[in-house]
Amino acid sequence: MPWKFGQAINIGKRSEQQDRIGIFHTGDGKRHLMVIADGMGGIPKGGQAAQIVVDTAEQAFKKNRIRNPELFLEAICSQSHEKINQLEADSSLAPGTTCVLLYIDKRQAYWAHIGDSRLYHYRQGRLINQTLDHSLVQLMIDQGVIEDRGSEARSLQNQLYKRLGGAKKPEPDIHTDALKSGDIFLLCSDGFWQFIEKDQIPAILQNHPLDQDGPEHLVTLALQNGGPHCDNISVTLAQWEQAQTGFIQKVRCLFKKD
């Protein structure tokens, strides 16, 4: 079951890079873990908080004893939260970060998120799964207070009611889905998704493959669209390309000697 991966990151127009990304694999190529963390701006040590998430995810993955994937993802969030709080004596003053994790095990995918970093799941060029932001804007949309993310909502976008780090216990949203050949996953920070139309991404990747120049091309587009106030941008991608076993066997039969 071959997978293709890609990733890209850009500081945008900020003075500090607070996004962190990681992609990890087992030696047999059957299991994979992807992570993006976006340190919360305006709070000191946001970049450190995001790095803790990536380091914690890598360490947990390398232990190689994942019997319950959903508990595995929840544990990464809990352990990261505790380590982030250790950066300050008072947990209420601890830095914060968003987090989105994707664990792939053979034909099944599991993902968890906290905050407004996102996961998109595409199948045959169509978006079939998407995480919902833990933001005040999303909450207002869900409650029917506002209809979309127009100009009146933009000033509220960075106000999150869930994060890693701080006095409140983390409660990640966790989902799972069976995989099909050709499935594409994209994980990103808000500096990316605010400036790229999600429904355009599959068409872009047809001309810019995700294991070649696709990630950098997407980040460049977000940077251009974001203008002078563009935030940090990060993106990781994965696509499952099922092996053409039937075709290979047929070719072998054509050349079989009597």
112 and 73 Cβ atoms separated by less than 8 Å:
yes
240 and 247 Cβ atoms separated by less than 8 Å:
no
39: buried, middle or exposed (CB in 10 Å: 19+, 13-18, 0-12)?
buried
83, two tokens: 């380590």
**What is the reported pLDDT for 252?**
45
pTM value is 0.90
208: buried, middle or exposed (CB in 10 Å: 19+, 13-18, 0-12)?
middle
**What is the reported pLDDT for 156?**
67
**What is the reported pLDDT for 133?**
95
Amino acid at 182: G
Domains of the chain listed by start with CATH number: 3-254 (3.60.40.10)
The 10s digit of each residue's pLDDT in 88-116 is 988 888 999 999 999 999 899 999 999 99
d(CA 54, CA 50): 7
**What is the reported pLDDT for 255?**
45
177: buried, middle or exposed (CB in 10 Å: 19+, 13-18, 0-12)?
middle
**What is the reported pLDDT for 246?**
45
Distance between terminal CA atoms of the chain? 32
Which residue's structure tokens are 């966790």? 174
- 157: nearest Cα among 135, 140, 182, 184: 135
Which parts of the chain register pLDDT below 50? 246-258
Q: CB atoms < 10 A from the CB of 92, how many?
A: 9
**What is the reported pLDDT for 153?**
55
